[in-house]
Structure 1
Amino acid sequence: MNTIRSISQFHKLVSLPEPLHPLVSVIDLAKITYTQSEIWKGFVNRFYCVALKHDVKGKLKYGHQYYDYDKGILSFTAPNQVQYLDLQNIECGNGWLLIFHPDFLLRHNLANAIHQYGFFSYTVNEALHLSAEEEQDLLMVLHNIERECKHIDKHTQEIIISQIELLLNYPQRFYERQFITRKNNNHHLLEKFEQLLNDHYNSPAEKPQGLLTVQNIAGLMNISPNYLSDL
């Protein structure tokens, strides 16, 4: 499996100059041009990605399934998630991408706390949709991080990490709002969940796989385990 190990390597792969900071970068998607590299046919990143996007056309593949890359407006990926990108049918569109390496969080509480943000395991078709006001809140934080990357001193890490924490706390609120406003759709998901349980335990057929797990059920429902748990 191909590996994108550094922020600098990623910049080169999307035809951007060297990042202002070696461990964190805020990227204007309109300035991206993907290089024709074999790496996109199957790769993992060694860093976190938060994408705030508009009009992005193309397909991104997780595991064995393709997802529309233009669904939703805010999406998250964690390090070491396997991805496949179809360069034949992609347009970068407009928006912003925050990428930061786990090493940037060392000796900070966020290094451990970041695993509590379940949306880093949400698949792209479960991306977060934002209101105009919510989007402006996130853009303000992204621009603060971008500006701080230009001033690397002993305060830089603490200031940027505080902004990253704020950026991650906003989606916690926004996802709760999305779950509420999509109550009817989520109700159908829960009905499907109950039906799968009933079918499993009421079926006379032998069940070699044993007890159903959240991972099993989420796979049958075509959603991620974390998204199912948060419902």
Structure 2
Amino acid sequence: MSEIMRIETIGQMVQLAGFRELKHPLVYTLDIQDFKIPNSFENVKLTTGFYSIFMKDANCAIQYGRNTYDFEEGVLSFFAPGQVTTINSESESKNGWALFFHPDLIRKSALGKNIDNFHFFSYDVHEALHLSKKEEDILNDCIKKIEFELEQNIDAHSQNLLISNIELLLNYCQRFYERQFHSRSDHHKDVVTTIEEEIKLYFEQNFQIDQGIPTTKYLADKVNLSPNYLGDMLKKETGKNTKEHINDFVVEKAKNLLLGSSNNVSEIAYELGFNYPHYFSRLFKQKTGVTPQKYRELNN
């Protein structure tokens, strides 16, 4: 396995890459034209200790996990601390920007408490956000406000204003992703059908006996999506995330087994892939309002 280069701080990145001076230790913006790849970074696996957002509108190949995405139009991609990326030497972009911010900046803020709700930081690169010109303009304005603050002398308001503008940018991205889900609705309906078929097939083949209930990652891999993107997309399309789709199927199957077999509740739980019957009983009551045994008694 190739070695992974770990870059802990934004200052370390700036020094290693030879970027312009750092004006704030926890926030940094960069014109994408200045994002030149130093020899030490070429085709090397990198992981950082900070959040990164890239807006690009030209060919710029970045590999994340198993996927490579060539940015040939205005798109936004997000990377959370600890994600492994590979930046290829042929990467080049003419317009756009990059924003980097360290978790320490937001740690004690409301954004710090809610940052995990911005699921797009764990989407795969091929699930990048495609922007309209109007959307680009809005985000560019957010970046200009952040850059304005970075140009000022640090005072009592600096941190709050930086955090507020980063949060504003992220909230717009959340809205724009919802628009993207809506605009791709026809394709996503096919994904919903595939997910439902894959859950059904999983139990028909009795995979749950050895492997347990299907995971969100298992289903996401089936449709070549990241677990968080799949969950958000399903929520937008159906009102239920991936786990809820799995649980609904399990409960419906459990109802059939409770009424169509003489197996006791524990045996049915194991047959459905639960290692512990009380987990099954808790899920069943949560979904139906009664225990499995009570459901059997009421319907026999």
TM-score in same-fold range (> 0.5)? yes
How far does the alpha carbon of each residue in 1:147-206 deviate from its partner, in whole angstroms, 9 at most, with x for none?
101112221100010001100100111111111111111111112111211211112567
Displacement after TM superposition at 1:26 (Å)? 1.1
How far does the alpha carbon of each residue in 1:80-119 deviate from its partner, in whole angstroms, 9 at most, with x for none?
00112222x2213320111000011132111111111111
Of Structure 1 and Structure 2, the greater helix share is in 2
Displacement after TM superposition at 1:62 (Å)? 2.3
- Tell me how large the CA RMSD over aligned residues is: 1.7
How far does the alpha carbon of each residue in 1:106-158 deviate from its partner, in whole angstroms, 9 at most, with x for none?
32111111111111111110011111111111000001001101112221100
Does residue 150 of structure 1 match 2:145?
A: no
2:116 counterpart letter in structure 1: H
Q: What is the aligned partner in structure 2 of residue 21 from structure 1? A: 24
What is the distance in 2 between the residues matched to 1:136 and 1:156? 24
SS of the residue corresponding to residue 208 of structure 1 reads helix
How far does the alpha carbon of each residue in 1:19-74 deviate from its partner, in whole angstroms, 9 at most, with x for none?
1111101110111211101575112111001111110322x2223x1321416601
Of stretches 138-147 and 198-207 in structure 1, the one that deviates more from structure 2 is 198-207
Alpha-carbon distance change, 46 to 39 in structure 1, aligned in 2, over 3 angstroms: farther
Q: What is the aligned partner in structure 2 of residue 67 from structure 1? A: 68
Corresponding residue to 1:203 among 184, 202, 205: 205
Structure 2: tracts of 5 or more residues without a match: 234-300
What is the distance in 2 between the residues matched to 1:68 and 1:180? 22
Does residue 49 of structure 1 match 2:52?
A: yes
TM-score after normalising by structure 2: 0.72
What is the distance in 2 between the residues matched to 1:163 and 1:192? 39
Does residue 107 of structure 1 match 2:117?
A: no
TM-score after normalising by structure 1: 0.92
Larger Rg: 1 or 2?
Answer: 2
Residue 8 of structure 2 contacts residue 49 of structure 2 at CA under 8 Å; is this kept in 1?
yes
| Larger RCO (alpha carbons 8 Å, 6+ apart) | 1
Residue 15 of structure 1 contacts residue 34 of structure 1 at CA under 8 Å; is this kept in 2?
no
Q: What is the aligned partner in structure 1 of residue 189 from structure 2? A: 187
Residue 2 of structure 1 contacts residue 39 of structure 1 at CA under 8 Å; is this kept in 2?
no
Alpha-carbon distance change, 39 to 23 in structure 1, aligned in 2, over 3 angstroms: farther
Alpha-carbon distance change, 207 to 158 in structure 1, aligned in 2, over 3 angstroms: same
Residue 50 of structure 1 contacts residue 99 of structure 1 at CA under 8 Å; is this kept in 2?
yes
2:103 counterpart letter in structure 1: P
What is the distance in 2 between the residues matched to 1:207 and 1:93? 53
SS of the residue corresponding to residue 211 of structure 1 reads coil
What is the distance in 2 between the residues matched to 1:53 and 1:206? 43
Residue 57 of structure 1 contacts residue 93 of structure 1 at CA under 8 Å; is this kept in 2?
no
What is the distance in 1 between the residues matched to 2:15 and 2:123? 27
Q: What is the aligned partner in structure 2 of residue 3 from structure 1? A: 6
Structure 1: tracts of 5 or more residues without a match: none
What is the distance in 2 between the residues matched to 1:109 and 1:183? 32
Aligned residues: 228
Displacement after TM superposition at 1:220 (Å)? 2.1
Residue 23 of structure 1 contacts residue 104 of structure 1 at CA under 8 Å; is this kept in 2?
yes
SS of the residue corresponding to residue 104 of structure 1 reads helix
Of stretches 137-146 and 183-192 in structure 1, the one that deviates more from structure 2 is 183-192
Displacement after TM superposition at 1:14 (Å)? 3.3
Seq. identity, % = 38
